[in-house]
Amino acid sequence: MIGCSISTIVRMISSPYFTASGRQTRSATRAAADALGKKKKPARKHVKIEYESENQDGGREQASDDSKEDVASKKRKKDTSVTKKQSSDWEPANWREQLANIREMRKLRDAPVDSQGCEKTADMNQSAETIRYQVLISLMLSSQTKDQVTFAAMEKLKAHGLTVENILKTPTSKIGELIYPVGFWKKKAEYIKEATKICAETYKGDIPPTVKDLTALPGVGPKMAHITMNVAWGEVTGIGVDTHVHRIANRLGWVKKPTKLPEETRVAVESWLPREEWDELNVLLVGFGQQTCLPVGPQCESCLNCKICPEGRRVTRGKPSKTK
Ligand code: SF4
């Protein structure tokens, strides 16, 4: 990987978004990091994050790649500062069994998100900064858009030259042409152009290193910011809750009261789900939502959670189960 420090590579490949089998590969990556002399991170507490305490300073030092990573790492720690413990002792009944069943149903990792998700679209032969930029752009394209369509748009952008420098020189109309037909392509072309300018002017060609600074970019919401932090910076700052995660969490009863917005779901699920489960949850549930727990016509009769899912029990009441 050109221009990547060892620490950057280790952090990026340790994301579950880069793996075919999540946990095992993550462990192997940690072992590789240990072998390279990295200290093991102490186990993190189950914490809530307070973004308001972040420093607004957006500038980043430019020196060697390693020193840049150190500066970014210190800054990112402000994102994950421990502020208070979980606010509630409530947790949904059967969540461990439900999650284990979803892992079982997702073990082949053959959903669209597994081959065409945001982490699969970045060109790993680019510099670390450009890879992070491409992850961010892929996520910006992905809202209200199927993974397959986002993937195709990313291929066109990369063939054109998806770097901060080149997109700065590219007219917004051309960006729109390249990303069509992703959802809201006209607006997204404008957002990409504006966000790229901010990356160039404020972050010296890199992307913002905190959730707060990422969500300050046009067209970037909390879901994208948390997934960007995980995939691009290797830092788990929150659960990426998109429409699949939002829907499935409500169907499974993972929220104390039904929620209307993904952001409400994120806060509700983070209040009880142990932090070590956060990083894998998005990719796990998105694939599950693409293959089994579909938005319309969920496959409850063949779902392993049929008997322990409120929605599954409701849908299959009186019907014979297809699960063994
Ligand atoms: S039983 Fe149905 S609603 Fe519940 S998780 Fe399975 S597919 Fe989704």
Enter the tokens of residue 16: 């579950």
Burial class (CB in 10 A: 0-12, 13-18, 19+), 89: exposed
Q: What pLDDT, on a 0 to 100 scale, did the predictor assign at position 43?
A: 41
Q: What pLDDT, on a 0 to 100 scale, did the predictor assign at position 175?
A: 98
**Residue with more model confidence, 45 or 64:** 45
Burial class (CB in 10 A: 0-12, 13-18, 19+), 159: exposed
Determine the distance separating the centroid of ligand 1 and the alpha carbon of 108, expressed in angstroms. Answer: 18
CA atoms within 13 A on the CB side of 188: 25
Residue to substitute in 293, 301, 304, 313 for testing ligand 1 pocket (most ligand atoms within 8 angstroms of CB): 293
Enter the tokens of residue 182: 């992703």
What type of residue sits at position 136?
Answer: L
Of ligand 1's atoms, which has the minimum distance to the CA of residue 292?
7
Q: Whose CA is nearest to atom 8 of ligand 1?
A: 293
Between 86-95, 100-109, 177-186, the lowest mean confidence (pLDDT) is in: 86-95
Q: What is the Cα–Cα distance from 133 to 139, expressed in whole angstroms?
A: 10
From residue 228, how far is each of 40, 119, 235, 247, 284 by CA, in Å?
Answer: 23, 9, 9, 21, 16
Q: Whose CA is nearest to atom 2 of ligand 1?
A: 300
Of ligand 1's atoms, which has the minimum distance to the CA of residue 306?
1
Q: Using a 6 Å CB cutoff, which residues line ligand 1?
A: 251-252, 292-293, 298-300, 303, 305-306, 309, 311-312
Q: Of all helices (H) and strands (E), which one includes residue 109?
A: none
**Residue 202 CB: number of other CB atoms within 10 A?**
16
Determine the distance separating the centroid of ligand 1 and the alpha carbon of 280, expressed in angstroms. Answer: 19
Q: Quick one: average pLDDT of 232-236?
A: 96
**Residue 117 CB: number of other CB atoms within 10 A?**
24
Share of the chain above pLDDT 90, in %: 67
Q: What is the pLDDT of residues 23-61, one digit of tens each?
A: 333 333 333 333 333 333 444 343 333 322 222 222 222
Q: What is the Cα–Cα distance from 77 to 322, expressed in whole angstroms?
A: 47
Determine the distance separating the centroid of ligand 1 and the alpha carbon of 183, expressed in angstroms. Answer: 27
Q: What is the mean pLDDT of the chain?
A: 80
Of ligand 1's atoms, which has the minimum distance to the CA of residue 311?
3
Determine the distance separating the centroid of ligand 1 and the alpha carbon of 114, expressed in angstroms. Answer: 20
pLDDT of 105 above 60: yes
Q: What pLDDT, on a 0 to 100 scale, did the predictor assign at position 179?
A: 98
Q: Coil, strand or helix: which one is 85? A: strand
Q: What pLDDT, on a 0 to 100 scale, did the predictor assign at position 291?
A: 97
Residue 49, beta-bridge partner list: 82
Determine the distance separating the centroid of ligand 1 and the alpha carbon of 265, expressed in angstroms. Answer: 17
Enter the tokens of residue 263: 């952001």
Q: What is the pLDDT of residues 238-284, one digit of tens each?
A: 999 999 999 999 999 999 999 999 999 999 999 999 999 998 999 99
CB 269 within 8 A of CB 221: no
Enter the tokens of residue 83: 């502020």
Active site residues: 223
Of ligand 1's atoms, which has the minimum distance to the CA of residue 313?
1
Q: What pLDDT, on a 0 to 100 scale, did the predictor assign at position 60?
A: 26
Q: What is the pLDDT of residues 219-231, one digit of tens each?
A: 999 999 999 999 9
